Each structure stands twice: as structure tokens, then as C-alpha cells.
Amino acid sequence: MMWSTLVYADDLVLDNVEVSAEADTPLNVVSTEQLLKVPGAGNDPLRAIESLPGVVFSKGGEAKPAIRGSSPDDNAYYIDLTPVGYLFHTDGSSILNDNVIESFTFIPGAFGAEYNNATGGVIDTRTRSPYYDQSQAIIDMSLLRAGFLVETPVSDDQAFYFTARQSLFQFYIENIIDSDEFEFTTLPEFYDYQGKYEVRLNATDTLSLQVIGARDKAAVLFTDDSAVVSQDPGKSGGFGFEQYFNSQGLQWDAFYSNGLTQSINLSQLEQKFQFFVGSGNYINAKVNDYRLRSRFSYALNYRHELQWGLEFSERHLAAMGRFEGPPCDEFKSDCRFVEGTEIIEAEDHPVIYETNAFLSDNWDVNENWTLTPGVLLSYNDYTENAYVEPKLNSRWMFQPDWWLTQGYGRYHSLPENFGQYAKEFGNPELNEPKATHYVTGLEHQMTPTLLWKIEAYYKTFADIPIARPSKSPLYDSLSDEQYNALPRYTNDAEGDAWGLELFVNKQLSQRWYGWASVAWSRTRRENTLTNEDFRYAYDQPVIVNLVANYQWDDDWQLGFKWRVQSGQLVTPIDDVVVDSNNPDLYNPIYGEPYSERLPVYHRLDVRADRTYRFARWEMDLYIEVLNLYAQRNVIDYNYDNADYSERNDVLDLPFIPSFGIRARL
């Protein structure tokens, strides 16, 4: 069954060269295979979803998707039922290895009750089973990374694969980035790995052990006369980080003769994060997460299919650190260490228990209408909050090849930055942020290979955590001691987002496929403490995507992706004043939050794929050119000099040719 917001991905096995769709299923999907061939994505499905409506990526190294006006940290990511520590490396690529992906589902809003701990969107990735009838080895190399996969059956009913990747840019990045402002003390580097050992217990039961892990690290040292240190002396000494995680999950999948299906997963996740900035500020944190997840499905009759599941988690956190800067959030413009009014040095060891249970019913009201009501029950013993969150999705074919879809849901999540909730560094009395989603859409399948869909959405956000405002001017009447006694974070922000999206999908026919999307949106936030009402950083009202791929012959594929979008919003610096205590320090006076829009962004990426077949092995070669016409896209402004007197454009990628090779042995 498919309901209104399960769009843009189907369960297509990557090894199948032919891209097709079921005849009785609306073409409101982009297959996994097609996502992996999107030009500019480098075979990374998470990067490829930028070509779908409603998605923008945050700027910076660890770029993440912001979906329909939500924060990049508001999304939930699933890899089967096994948890992961983080999804994105320092270069913006994901930890997902396309060699083992079976299906990839992107749900931008009003998702079902089976998903929890998200107020934005859901990205659900399913990995394939290992092959029981053949062995293979894959060597994969590009300019950015190198990797391998080994796969083999062990017996008639057991098989496994293991794949690992290592970054390569650490070997040449110093030749590309030559700066008088800083030097690398730890070169940026990452690795990741995935593996699965599967046992077919019988014709209906499967037991699998899955392992996933990754590590990233980098560190820089700023020169004493750099703009960074001149503007914020607390950063003297540079900054650096290292993070890693190792996750293991044991999963039992079964199908019973009465129609009941089950997936039960028992997992353990170890995660560590170390960070330092300046000469005395650091955070060391470690998490051990033990989790039981289960999903069941049962057809009561030909009209009702029940789905339910339970999830129990126990998280052991151990954190210690020292920090002398102010509390910060994504809305606060001035977060320099010189703005700090206290030094916090603490250690904490909380244990957090969380329970989630869901129930939904795929109800075929009649042959043309499917209604899916659901409910999610949640309890977190750290926040001591319980939630009962209803969901409802509807899909109605009101005449042949025409569908009307609706979706509604209430959601909550515990933010990724647990420091906001910590006893000393944050506020343990915080509540989880909440959201409500409303979606309605109209679909029409014009031909067996062509469909258009228009969808409107509205989202509200409440209890968004924000940092304590600066002492001046809101708290001028308080002493430093009284000001520091105020909570560092409170739930005093709210907002909403709304938009309209058009999606046109052309499946493979006459040698080509492609899709086009046009999105119009608005997103707003309000700080109820300061009474500031402003557009959110990811408010980009117009986004247009055009993607096409042409199958030249059995060996060649050619494709392009063109994207144009409104410029991102930034907060300008209107003026500077000399610091009253340090004549060499200048304090910026910021304008209204996110009141200046960068120039329109547009970029054309192209890609060519060539397959070479030999007697016992084959090789895939792909060549990509990013930003083919070398557009100077401004993604931010950078202020040089101690007095912020020179503003320079921060540019996105220039014209960059790239290539990758994959050999299947």
C-alpha cells in the first residue's frame, strides 16, 4: 500500500539494470537506482535528494538536508532497524554505501506512526541481503574516497558481505587549501564500514547480524594575526574534533502462515565525540545506546492490515567539559567567546529510558480509497513527558488515474544536541520540540510512464529550544550573578512553514527518464523572549530542479541536473563599536535576523556513465562535471580584519571535473 506522502522512492534492487514501475502503482516515485545516478551526487542517495522538491542543504562541511522549513537536525534516519551515530562525514557525503542499498524512501512530511523522534522528515534506507548463489568483490575509487566490498555465501543457507571506505582528500588537501590564516594540525579524514551476516533459518525465518560504523576527525590552528582570532580572541589555539560510532544489530525477520510478519531488532550503539576550541574549552562525550525495536504486520481481512510495534531504549551518557562561551543556537548571531559571562566546568552521567509504541491500520475503505489512521505513544523518563500523537493518511482515486491525497500528524523529537538538556551546560527542564503537519495533494498519471503531482503543506513548530539572549539590552537591570542564574536554554521559540510543490516524473521509455520539480515556500520563526519575528535561515521561496538521463546504448548513460533556487538568508553586520574593555577588539552590531538574502543560486551538473564488460569481470566508469558553466554562487559572507571592514563572498564549488571507477570481480 502507498499513501499520500510516501513519495519519491520505490523498493528497487540496485543490481537490476532495468528501471521500471508496477503498472498499477502511480508513478509518484523516483527509484533508488535513478537517485544514485543523479549528476553531482557522486553515487550518494542522501546528496541526491536535493533534486527532489522541498529539500535544501545546510552550508558548511557537514551539510544536512533541511526539509520543508524544518531544521536539518529535525529529521529521522533509519538503516533497517539498526541505529547509527551520525549520517554525514566532514565533506558532506553520507555514510551510506550504495553497494548494499536495496531501497531508499524519502518522506518529507506527515509520515506514519511507525517513525518517531522527528519533526522534519524521514529517510528510511533498507540494505539488501547478501547473495547466496555467488561471490563477488568490488573495488570502488574516486577523487574523494576509495572502498571495497567482499561478499560470499558460506553455505546454502548462510552468506555475508562487508564493505569499507576511506577518504582520500587528506593526501592532497594541503595542496589545494593554502591559507595564511590557519594550518591543519590534524588533516580532515574519515572512514566508514557496513557488514551483514545472514542466516536463513528456514523458508520463512531469517536471522541477520548487521554492523555499521564511521569515524571523522580534523583540527586547525589559527595564526595570531588571523581575522578569526582578532575578532574573537577566545579562539586562539584553533579548534578540532574527533567523532566515531560502532553499531551492531541482531535482527529476526519472519513470515507466518496466518499472514503475520515480524521484524525484531536488538542493537547496541557506542558513540564518542571529542571537541576543543581555543586554549581551554573542550567537550568529551560518550554514549552507549541499547535498543529493542520491533515491527509487526497482520492482515485481519481483505480490507484491514494492522501494523504495530514497540521500541525500548536505554542510553548511558558520560560527558565532561569546560566552556567559557555564551549559550548558542542557530538563531543567535553573536556567539563569540568574549560574549561569555561565566565559565562552566562539569561532568554528568545520565541514564535515559525511552519507550515508543505505535499502531496503525491500512484500511481499504473501498477499491478506490485507502485510509491509514495511526497513533504513536511515547514516554521519556529524562524529560518526564508522555505523548499521544495521532496520524492520518488518505489516498482516494476519485476517477481512473486521478488521486487525491491527504496527511496529518503530530510529532516531537529530542534534539541531536543533548548539551541543551544537560544539567550544567543546558537546562534539564526543557521540553521536546513539537510539530504538526498538514499535507494535501493531487496526482494524475497521464500515460503509463508520465505522472504529475501537486502537493500543498503547512507545518507548525512549538517549544523550539533557544539560547538565553545576551545580557544587553534585555537583562540590563540584572547583575551578572542574576543573569547567569537564568536558564541557558528555554522553549521560547515557535514558527511555521507552508508551501506548494509541483513534481513531474517521466519513467524510462524511449531510452530516457527524468523529473522536474518546482517548489514555492515560506518558513518563519519567532523568539517570544525578544519578540523577534523573522524568516528562518532555510527560507528559500523558489526552488526549481530539472533532472534527465539518457540511455545512449547498453554501455553509455548521459545525464544532467540543473538547479536554481532563491539565495539563502543571512544576518548582516550593520556597524561595529570598539569594546569598552579592550581597545583592540571590535564588537559587531548585527541587523535584523536573516534580513539579507544572498544572490540567486543556480548550477548545472552533468554526468556520463560507461560500462566495460570483460570475460570474468566488469568495470563502471563515471565522469561528473560540477558547475559546468562555472557560476559564482555566493553561499555566505566572510568578514575580514579585526574591525570587520572587508566583506568577501564565500563561494560554492567552482567548475570541478571528477570521476570514479568501480570494478566488479
d(CA 24, CA 22): 6
Angle in degrees, CA 315, 245, 37, rounded to 5 = 120
* pLDDT of res. 15: 32
pLDDT value of position 7: 33
Quick one: pLDDT at residue 464?
Answer: 95
pLDDT number for residue 419: 85
Higher-confidence residue of 358 and 38: namely 358
Note whether residue 7 is domain-resident.
no
- Residues 373-383 have a mean pLDDT of 96
Listed ranges 63-77, 95-109, 383-397, 468-482; the one with the highest mean pLDDT = 383-397
Domain-located, residue 269: yes
Which of 42, 53, 8, 26 shows the shortest CA–CA distance to 516? 53
Is the Cβ–Cβ distance between 158 and 175 less than 8 Å? no
The answer to whether position 579 is within a domain reads: yes
pLDDT at 18: 26
The percentage of the chain sitting over the pLDDT mark of 70, rounded to a whole number, equals: 95
- Higher confidence at residue 634 or residue 14? 634
Mean pLDDT of the 184-203 span: 94
Helices (H), 402-540: 480-485
| Distances from the Cα of 475 to the Cα of 231, 489, 608, angstroms | 24, 15, 59
Q: Which of 224, 244, 242 is nearest to 232 (CA)?
A: 224
The structural domain count of the chain equals 1
Question: For the chain, what percent of residues have pLDDT higher than 90?
Answer: 65
Residue 23 covered by a domain: no
Res 12: pLDDT? 30
Q: What is the average pLDDT across 546-562? A: 92
In a domain, 652, yes or no: yes
Residue 1 included in any domain:
no
Residue 9 has pLDDT above 80, yes or no: no
- DSSP codes, 617-647: -EEEEEEEEESTT----EEEEEEESTT--EE
Nearest to 117 by CA among 502, 379, 393, 343: 379
Query: What pLDDT does residue 138 have?
Result: 94
d(CA 657, CA 623): 7
Nearest by Cα to 247 from 215, 217, 275: 215
Q: Tell me if 25 is assigned to some domain.
A: no
Domain of residue 68, residue span: 32-664
In this prediction, residue 8 carries a pLDDT of: 34
Residue 24 lies in a domain: no
Dihedral of the CA atoms 178, 182, 187, 189 (nearest 10)? -90
Tell whether the model's pLDDT for residue 285 goes beyond 70: yes
Each residue's pLDDT tens digit, 355-371: 999 999 999 999 999 99
Question: What is the per-residue pLDDT for 459?
Answer: 98
| Alpha carbon of residue 43 to chain centroid | 16
224: how many CB neighbours lie within 10 A of its CB?
8
pLDDT at residue 62 is higher than 60: no
Structure confidence at residue 182 (pLDDT):
84
What integer pLDDT is reported at residue 400 of this predicted model? 94
pLDDT in tens, 599-643: 999 999 999 999 999 988 999 999 999 999 999 999 999 999 999
H or E element in which residue 231 lies: helix 227-231
Q: Please give the backbone phi and psi of residue 239, each rounded to the nearest 5 degrees, phi first.
A: -150, 160
pLDDT category, 14, cuts 50, 70, 90? Answer: very low
Mean pLDDT, residues 317-331: 90
Mean pLDDT of 45-74: 83
Q: What does the mean pLDDT of the chain come to?
A: 89
Highest-confidence segment of 195-199, 340-344, 587-591: 195-199
Q: pTM of the predicted model, to two decimals?
A: 0.90
**pLDDT of amino acid 408:** 98
- Model confidence band, residue 176 (pLDDT cutoffs 50, 70, 90): confident
pLDDT value at position 27? 59
CATH of the domain at 248: 2.40.170.20
Residue 61: pLDDT band (50, 70, 90) is low
